Every structure is written in structure tokens, then in C-alpha cells.
Chain A
Amino acid sequence: MRKILYALVILTLFSCEEVVDVELETSAPRLVVEASLLFNADTESDLQIIKLSTTAPYFEEEIPAVSGAMVKVTTGSGEEYIFKETGGGIYENSEIVAKPDVNYQLEIVYENELYTATAQFTSTPKLQFVEQDLGGFSGDEYEFKIFYEDPEETENFYLFRYLNDQVYLQIYTDEFTNGNQTFAFFNDEDASPGDLVQFEIQGISEGFYEYLFILRSQSGDNNGGPFQTQPSIVRGNIVNQTNPDNFPFGYFRLSEVNILNYEVE
């Protein structure tokens, strides 16, 4: 919402944006874990990926990949899934299955430090249909409403992704829509009729919702400007057991994902 206000102020004024050189100090690198295990009942592949990287100086183009880490996921009932390194910071496993109400523990050993996190599987409803419209500030942006049925008995949080040339994210809670048919909203000024696009719904935990909420406020166009929120360090659910001060960034989660492919009209 603040972004809209901000856009309004900018658009309504004789404003001017310019790329400038700024000298930045660089903070010490930290481990970044992207352990989003996504499960879709409709697909054949069971391949799960965990990405490990480190932080880099802000203007650096390459994000350093992490190699040589030991990565595994275990459950309380003794199952153990080793993730094999395949290069470029990618660690893979195809055996892992998601069951509700099971605690999954992630363990990473990197540079002799042990990082751990626990998470449970979060399910999600299916996507129903898409409504398409033209709108936006200039009236020629494609707007999509993707409908779904929110389950009434639970408090739900969702991550939506819209994939065209780029990937767009939206997060929703059912605080004001519990138990109703409702929609996620995306707009894309670069879309054109005939584009094959993909919509995704993922069930996420409240913790991950809050994490993404902060993360999104810190990234991209949301930072800076008269309506900016205070920049902050955003910490996820992964803990460095060996040296807590050297905390990592990122998140470990297990989510159900449902997909809807759509051709832009």
C-alpha cells in the first residue's frame, strides 16, 4: 500500500531518478540458505533442491556459491535424507516425502559450524481460475485475479508466484477472507496476448509469511523514499549452533505447491 502512495507521489511530480555512485562498506560474509522444499502431487519428479550461497558486496554481480557443505534433513522417527552437492551451490535429494505433523530438521555443516532449523509441511488449496482485465495507472497493464477457496477451519498463509519473463511474488493471509473464495492479484505491463504464463500457490507458515513480509519491504523498489520502512536485518529460522553470532540468512520450509498454467488473452 505504501508502495502505491509512493508511486503516486513520484508520478505526480517533476521527479527525477538517477543512478549515482555510492561508496559502501562491506560487512563480513554470512551463509545464506534457501531451503524451500516444494511438493506437488501432480508432478512426477520428487527432486528437492537446497541452495547455499554467501552474502556478497552489494555491487558485486556474482553471488558466491557454497561448496563442500554437508546438508541433510532428518525426521524425529529416524529418517535421514542426504542432499548431494551437484555444483553451483545446489544440493539435491529425490527421496524425501512430506507428511503432515512431522518435524523435519535441517542440518548443515559448513566451515566446521553446524546450522540447524526445523519445519513442518504446510498444505494449500488448488487454484481455480483466472480473471483477466486491463487496468493500472496508464490503463494498459494486464491485471490477473487468480481465485482459490480458503479453508475455513485453519489460519492460512500463502505465497503466490506469477512466472512470465520474470518472477513476481505476492503473500496473503486469510485474516480478512477466512473460508471464502478469494483471489490473488498480479499486474504485468509487459505481458501480451498469447503469453504462456504460470501461477503458483504455496502454503506457508505464519513465520515464513512474516519473514517474507519483512524481506519484501527491504528489497527492490520498496526501500528508500518518503514512505520507506526502517531497514533491518532479517533473520529466518536457521540457527548457527556452533557460533550464534555468525547467524545465517534464509529459511527452511516444506510447502505444498499447486500450479495453474494460463494463456494470456
Chain B
Amino acid sequence: MKKIILFCILLSFVKLEAQESFVINGIIKDAQNNETLLGVNIIFPELQTGTVTNEYGFYSVKVPAGSHRMEVSYLGYESISQNVEVQKNLNLDFQLNPAAQALEEVVVVDDSERLNIRQPEMSVNKLEISTIQKLPVVFGEVDVIKSLLLLPGVSNAGEASSGFNVRGGAADQNLILLDEATIYNASHLFGLFSVFNPDAIKNLKLYKGGIPANYGGRVSSVLDIYQKDGNSREFEANGGIGLISSRLLAQGPISKGKSSFLIGGRSSYAHLFLKLTDNENSAYFYDLNTKLTFRLDSRNTLLFSGYFGRDVFRITESFNNVYGNSVFNLRWNNVLKENIFSNMSVIYSDYYYGLTLDFVGFNWNSGIKNVNFKYDLDHYLNRKLNLDYGLHTTWHEFNPGEIEPNSDSSGIIPGQLIKKFALESAIYVSLEHSLSDKLYAEYGIRYSSFLRMGQEELNLYSEEPVIYNQRFGIYEKADPVAVKNLDKSQIERSFGNLEPRFALAYAFNDDQSVKLSYNRMTQYLHLITNTSSPTPLDVWAPSGTYIEPQKLDQVAIGYYRSFLDQDFSIEVEGYFKTLSNRLDYIDGANLIANDAIEQVILTGEARAYGAELLLKKNKGRFTGWFAYTLSRSEQRTPGRTSQEPGINNSQWYATAYDKPHDLSFTASYELNKKWDLNANFVFQTGLPTTYPGGQYRFENMIIPVYSARNSNRLPDYHRLDISATYTPSKNRKSNYRSSWNFGIYNVYARKNAVSLSFRQNQETSRNEAVRLSLFGIVPSVTYNFKF
């Protein structure tokens, strides 16, 4: 109700604007392939006003009647500057030419950085796909997520860990959206590569803070990725052949200028790793991206996109493991009025995990399915006010596991772990407000609701599901006193939370600003894992009777400046985050195939704070950046009563991904038209770990005696990678273009520790500390082509 009132108030003071003005709107596209461009700046310099295209390339701006100069500019493209005579509402579509076509000659100064200075948007990491494609990476496999790790505030829990950590948050707290659909597991081969085919991606943005109200459901960050629409002018194909995988992407018009298709595939070579040609072992992954775009008329567009990816591991007949995401989504863009853009999405997303273990004798299937409906509106009220509002709703279905015997002799009784259901919904309003020509604000509010629906056999306990056994000094499962069955159409428990968001930018001038943001986020889903980085078989648990939603508050401040004719830019940010209801696990919790997770979890809290610096050189033959993050990420799980020790004696301890110092240096140098040289260097504090303080022997096993959790650290991590891209001169007669990428990962072959394990040597029977390092020096070569 409050929101409706707020909304009415907003609408009413909008009407006060008296001057006669008109709306200019349109779509901005790439002139070559008709891809819509998002984030394009539209500026009216004399009016000191402007706007930016949205995710679908649409813009709308209200200007007074008269003749005005209008500038359209976008990083990497030639700008357009023209006079427009405004006497009525106008529909102006623009097509921008890529700057590379502009033959040495710089046409107009790039204004894109300038406007960002004034936008309240902060704590956002953006990387151009073209930049990502040049960065040196392990095995030469271009990787979106690994590239983001080079920016401040983003790290991961070691070289082979899946997922990423943003500002001291856990990997399950990132909302990863691919064309608006949630991706649950973003990595292939247990974290070596990310699931995103770089060729199919148009744009990506990582929100680390100041998260706008249109996003919700995860507390730490939002990684918003949009796939290309497909070239609606002419057919084109590109691809690459690498050491690990090969890719091919084709796109072209279905009906010229109106509709297009895109289909891309990527596959690794099945036997490459295992080099065991005489048996059936294999480990490979593949994925498929598709997109169909139909521009019905100037007001309506239909977009259909799909993603399908799988990882497969097979060891003879005894072990067979398949997992991956599939996502299908239908979107309808509709320009309701000249100043109202709407997008409706219907999304089906499915994460599947299957396992056959012959030596235990079972097949295992688990997964998450959800159906998601989103309706978002961008309402361009006037020169000073933009309003975004919308409605999201998702039906979640969790299948924690279904077990069945894989043969007659197995003795396994078929069983189904209890399925869980939930309905998650949200409404939001967000307002962008130019308070003056120096002060810009964005305020929003999101109301999220989570209905945990009924399940079979919900355990009931006389007190808590976890009890503290004072005698042995351990936490134990409580025995359920009864079970409750409730149909999935009935509500087991409901949650509702208000999530205010707020961001403010004050621009001293065109080159300098300070920003402040606050966001509250609520996350109703929890990844149940007690390992330092998620594994594909970890299950998600919805909040309910025994699990409270995670709630996060983040405050961030920043200072932004560009200097030397915008050649350089500097961003400094500080943040502080607190998180309540973070799950922690009692000692020895068995999380696999556990139908009563509530018996092994305790609720704690987490906090993270830090400072980030990003110094960038944006223009010239030499470009690159220096990023440094100083941060802490800690958690604590106190006892529920003064008698209980909690976890780690109720003390704060470092999370598994706490890296106080994280520094990276990335440089790119255009030697000549054929050769591009790239290098990056990273230095990070070693990850937390726990060393044993002693040992004892029991049942022929050597048992280490551990002390306080994560109180030790692995050695510091550092690495230098280099790469060179060779682009032969274009053959004038054909459209075929190609390039070679040569890389060396970990140039000075540092043996960075992924882990230190303490164990008994099988031969000498002596205890030893063993350092595991994954990659030595790894050379790579990739061939890319386009026609």
C-alpha cells in the first residue's frame, strides 16, 4: 500500500512541469550487424540533459520544443552529432559504426566516461567482450568470469574453484543472469571454465554494490549478461580452435532487417585430459546458445533465447556424472507509449545433476527447476525523472535427490529425498532523479515475498532441531517428535521483506564526482555446502520453518575522476557489509543426501569491509588498468545460549575466501596493426586454511588435531601471464578474417598452493605437509576466425 501511495506522489509532482515538451525515442543499433546497443549515451549538450539506452537498446527522452543539438555516443563506436527540430514527438533510430572502421581518424571525443561521472550507478564492473578476448588465460580459453577477477572487489576461492566472490560474499550469493534467466552453476569442469561462450555475449555488467531495485534474490552481487540478438543484415560465422575446446557461432537474418537467428556451440575434446586411449574414461563439456529475434514493428520485438550446457565425466562403468543448466526464455519488448518501454519475460530454467556410482550401486538424479515471470517497465517521465517499476515472480521446485538401484545386485532401495517448493515474488519501484545539474539520485524500493510451500514429512521437534550435548561438548541432531505433511499448494511459511536501495552522485564538474549508495538485499535460497568452494552436487535449500532468509546491508562510498583529457580514470571505493542468517554447519555435518538439513545447521552472521582502487588508462595504443583491493571477510556463529560454544568458540573467523590483499595489473599494447600484446600480473594473500597442532592414532588412522578455524594461511599467490594476438592483413577478396592468440599462463612457473594437506606418507609412514599446485607454466595457442 505504501508503495502505491509513493508511486502516486511521484506521478503527481511529475505533472507540475508546465513547459511544452516532446518525447524523442528510438532504438540504437550497430550499423554493421543491427545488434541493439545498450548503455549508449544520448546527450543534448545545450539542455544539459541526456539519457542512456536500456538493455534492449531503447531510449526515450523528453525535451522542450525547439531546435537542439543531439549527440549519440558509445565506447568503441563513431559518435553521431546532429541537430533535431522538435515540434512533436519524434521516433529517431540510430545506427552507429564501429570505430575501427574510422581509418585512424578520431571523429568525436568519446563521451561515455563523462556521463558515468554523473550517474548514481556505482560499484559496477564492466568489461568489453573485446577486452576479455585479448586477456591471457589458462589454456587460452577465453573466460568471462576469470576476467572479472582482474577487477577490484572480485576474487575466487582458489584456482580450480567454481564461482566467484564479490566483496567478501559467498559464491552462492551472486545472482547470475543470462538474458534475464538465473544460472545456478556457472562453471564447467568444476570451476576451470565458465559456462558463458564469449562469442555469444553482447554485454555484461557486474554490480558489486548500489544494486538497483530491479534486481533481487541474491545478496552479494548481480552479474547481468546479455546475449547477442544475431546479425539481421547478413550471415556471419565465427569460431575458434583452442587447446581445450572449439567454438562455432553462426548468425544471420531470417527476414532481412527484421528478424535474425544466432546459434553457437562449444565443446571440449573428450579424451584430451585423460590420455588413456585404451579405456572409456572421459571428461568433457559442451554448451549451446541460441537466440531468435523478431522485430514485429517499431513498437514490438519478440526475443527467444536458449542455453543448454552439460559436463560429462565417465570412469569406465563405475562412475558416470552429468550436470548442467538449461534455460529457455521468451521475451516481449513493447513500447507502450512513446515514453514507456516494457519487457515481459517468461523463463524456464533447469539445473540437472546426475550421478551413477556402480561401486555403491545407485543412480542419483537431482536438480532445480523454476518458472519465472517478469514484467519490467521503464517510464521516462521527464528530463529529470525516470521511473522503473515491475513485478517478478518465480516458482521454484527443488529436487534434492532421487536414488534408484543401478543393477539387480545393488541392494539399494529406490527413494526420493523430499522435494521442496516455493513461490518467490517481488514488486519494485526505482526512480532516477536529477536533483540539480550536479546532484543525481536513484532511489528504489523492492518488496520481496517468499512463500515456502508445503512438503511431505516435515520434521517437528520438541525444541530445536540441533541440540547441544553438554556432556560430550558437541552439537547433535535432535530426534523429530512428529512429522507434518502439507500439500505443495498450501503455504508452510511466508516471508516478506522491504529492500530499500539508494544511490547519490554529486558531480563537481565533468571529470570528478563522489557517490554514495546503500542497499538492502534479501536472499531466500541457501546453497548447502561446507566446502570452501561450491561443487556441482551441492543442493540449494529454500528458507522455511527452520531456515531464515539471509539479509544484507551494504554501504559504499566512492570517488571518481578522469584526467588528462580522459586518458586516465581513477575510481576509489570503500564498502561495509553486514549479513545476518548466514548458515554454518556443525562439526562433521553430512550434507549429502540429507533430508533433514535443519539438524546440522546453525545460524550465524558475516561481515565484510574493504577499499578498492581502480586506475585505468582508457585510450591510446597502451591501455590497461591497475586494481587493488584491501578487504576482510569474516563470519561468526555464536552459541544460542551462554552454555553453548557455537562454532569456533563463537569467535569471528576468516571466511574461506578472505583475501586481505588482492592486486592485479593488466596491460595491453597495440604494437602495430598485426600484433597486440597483453600481460597481466596478480598478487593475492594466500587463502585461509587450518593447520594441525598435533596428531593421534585411532583405528590405524592418523588423525590431525586442528585448532581454531581458518587461523592459518596458504602462501601468497602471484602469477604473471602474457599473450600476443596476431591478426594477418585482411584479404581484400574475401570476407574471411582470422587471428592467432598465443599465450603463456604463469610465465615464471610459480607453484601456487591450491591447498596444503597433512597426511601420512604411504611408504615412509611419516607425516608430511603436501602442497598441491594446479598449473605450472601453461603455453597455449588459439586460432579464431570470422567470415
Chain B residues with Cβ below 8 Å from A185 are 359-360
> Residue B768 at the A interface, CB < 8 A?
yes
**Does B770 lie within 8 Å of A20, measured CB to CB?**
yes
Chain A residues with Cβ below 8 Å from B274 are 11-12
A4 to B204, CA, bound (A): 35
Chain B residues with Cβ below 8 Å from A17 are 770-773
**Does B694 lie within 8 Å of A63, measured CB to CB?**
no
**Does A225 lie within 8 Å of B694, measured CB to CB?**
no
Shortest Cβ distance from A212 into B: residue: B699
> Residue A120 at the B interface, CB < 8 A?
no
Shortest Cβ distance from B191 into A: residue: A226
> Residue A45 at the B interface, CB < 8 A?
no
Chain A residues with Cβ below 8 Å from B362 are 176
> Residue B459 at the A interface, CB < 8 A?
no
Given contacts A14-B775, A56-B696, A231-B706, contact A8 B415 (CB under 8 A): no
**Does B771 lie within 8 Å of A2, measured CB to CB?**
no
Residue in contact with B472 in the complex, picked from A5, A219, A239, CB distance below 8 Å: A239
Given contacts A18-B773, A19-B768, A135-B316, contact A183 B361 (CB under 8 A): yes
Distance to closest chain A CB from B528 (angstroms): 13
**Does A226 lie within 8 Å of B704, measured CB to CB?**
no
> Residue A47 at the B interface, CB < 8 A?
no
Shortest Cβ distance from B702 into A: residue: A219
Shortest Cβ distance from B707 into A: residue: A27
Distance to closest chain A CB from B747 (angstroms): 15
Chain A residues with Cβ below 8 Å from B474 are 235
Binary interface encoding of chain B residues 730-774 relative to chain A, with 1 for a CB under 8 A from any of its CBs, else 0? 000000000000000000000100111111110000111111111
**Does A9 lie within 8 Å of B313, measured CB to CB?**
no
Binary interface encoding of chain B residues 93-114 relative to chain A, with 1 for a CB under 8 A from any of its CBs, else 0? 0000000000000000000000
Chain B residues with Cβ below 8 Å from A22 are 691, 756, 769
Chain A residues with Cβ below 8 Å from B4 are none
Distance to closest chain B CB from A76 (angstroms): 18
A255 to B283, CA, bound (A): 43
Distance to closest chain A CB from B586 (angstroms): 9
Chain A residues with Cβ below 8 Å from B771 are 17-20
Chain A residues with Cβ below 8 Å from B751 are 16, 18
Distance to closest chain B CB from A191 (angstroms): 15
> Residue B620 at the A interface, CB < 8 A?
no
Interface size on A, residues (CB 8 A): 90
**Does A26 lie within 8 Å of B587, measured CB to CB?**
no
Kindly specify which of B42-50, B58-66, B406-414 makes contact with the partner chain: B406-414
Given contacts A223-B704, A224-B757, contact A5 B535 (CB under 8 A): yes
**Does A216 lie within 8 Å of B701, measured CB to CB?**
yes
A216 to B701, CA, bound (A): 8
A191 to B754, CA, bound (A): 32
Q: Which B residues, 335 to 363, have Cβ-Cβ distances below 8 Å to chain A?
A: 355, 357, 359-362
**Does B412 lie within 8 Å of A177, measured CB to CB?**
yes
**Does A16 lie within 8 Å of B693, measured CB to CB?**
no
A236 to B473, CA, bound (A): 9
**Does B769 lie within 8 Å of A19, measured CB to CB?**
yes
> Residue B776 at the A interface, CB < 8 A?
yes
**Does A14 lie within 8 Å of B699, measured CB to CB?**
no
Binary interface encoding of chain A residues 111-135 relative to chain B, with 1 for a CB under 8 A from any of its CBs, else 0? 0000000000000000000010001
**Does B756 lie within 8 Å of A20, measured CB to CB?**
yes
Interface size on B, residues (CB 8 A): 90
Binary interface encoding of chain B residues 424-443 relative to chain A, with 1 for a CB under 8 A from any of its CBs, else 0? 00000000000000000000
> Residue A143 at the B interface, CB < 8 A?
yes
A57 to B696, CA, bound (A): 9
A21 to B753, CA, bound (A): 13
Chain B residues with Cβ below 8 Å from A57 are 694-695
> Residue B673 at the A interface, CB < 8 A?
no
Kindly specify which of A67-75, A77-85, A91-99, A244-252 makes contact with the partner chain: A244-252
Binary interface encoding of chain A residues 162-188 relative to chain B, with 1 for a CB under 8 A from any of its CBs, else 0? 000001010000001110111101010
Chain B residues with Cβ below 8 Å from A36 are 699
> Residue B703 at the A interface, CB < 8 A?
yes
Distance to closest chain B CB from A79 (angstroms): 24
> Residue B386 at the A interface, CB < 8 A?
no
Shortest Cβ distance from B278 into A: residue: A139
**Does B533 lie within 8 Å of A24, measured CB to CB?**
no
Residue in contact with B587 in the complex, picked from A24, A53, A234, CB distance below 8 Å: A234
Given contacts A24-B691, A181-B411, contact A14 B776 (CB under 8 A): yes
Chain B residues with Cβ below 8 Å from A180 are 411-413
> Residue A60 at the B interface, CB < 8 A?
yes
> Residue B315 at the A interface, CB < 8 A?
yes
Chain B residues with Cβ below 8 Å from A9 are 160, 189-190
Shortest Cβ distance from A244 into B: residue: B473
**Does A63 lie within 8 Å of B697, measured CB to CB?**
yes
> Residue A55 at the B interface, CB < 8 A?
yes
Given contacts A19-B769, A136-B316, contact A56 B703 (CB under 8 A): no
**Does B318 lie within 8 Å of A227, measured CB to CB?**
no
Shortest Cβ distance from A163 into B: residue: B700
**Does B704 lie within 8 Å of A15, measured CB to CB?**
no
**Does B694 lie within 8 Å of A221, measured CB to CB?**
no
Given A13-B774, A237-B472, A250-B696, 15 more A-B residue pairs with CB atoms under 8 Å apart are A2-B535, A8-B190, A24-B693, A55-B705, A135-B316, A136-B315, A169-B699, A176-B362, A180-B412, A223-B759, A224-B758, A226-B158, A230-B690, A231-B690, A232-B588
Can you identify 30 A-B contacts, CB atoms within 8 angstroms?
Answer: A1-B357, A5-B190, A9-B190, A13-B160, A13-B192, A16-B751, A17-B771, A18-B770, A22-B769, A34-B697, A56-B694, A56-B696, A136-B318, A137-B315, A137-B316, A139-B278, A143-B318, A169-B699, A176-B413, A212-B699, A216-B701, A219-B702, A221-B757, A225-B754, A226-B533, A230-B690, A232-B588, A233-B587, A239-B472, A249-B696
- List the 10 shortest-distance A-B pairs measured between CB atoms, nearest first: A224-B757, A182-B411, A214-B588, A27-B693, A232-B587, A231-B706, A224-B755, A12-B273, A180-B411, A55-B694
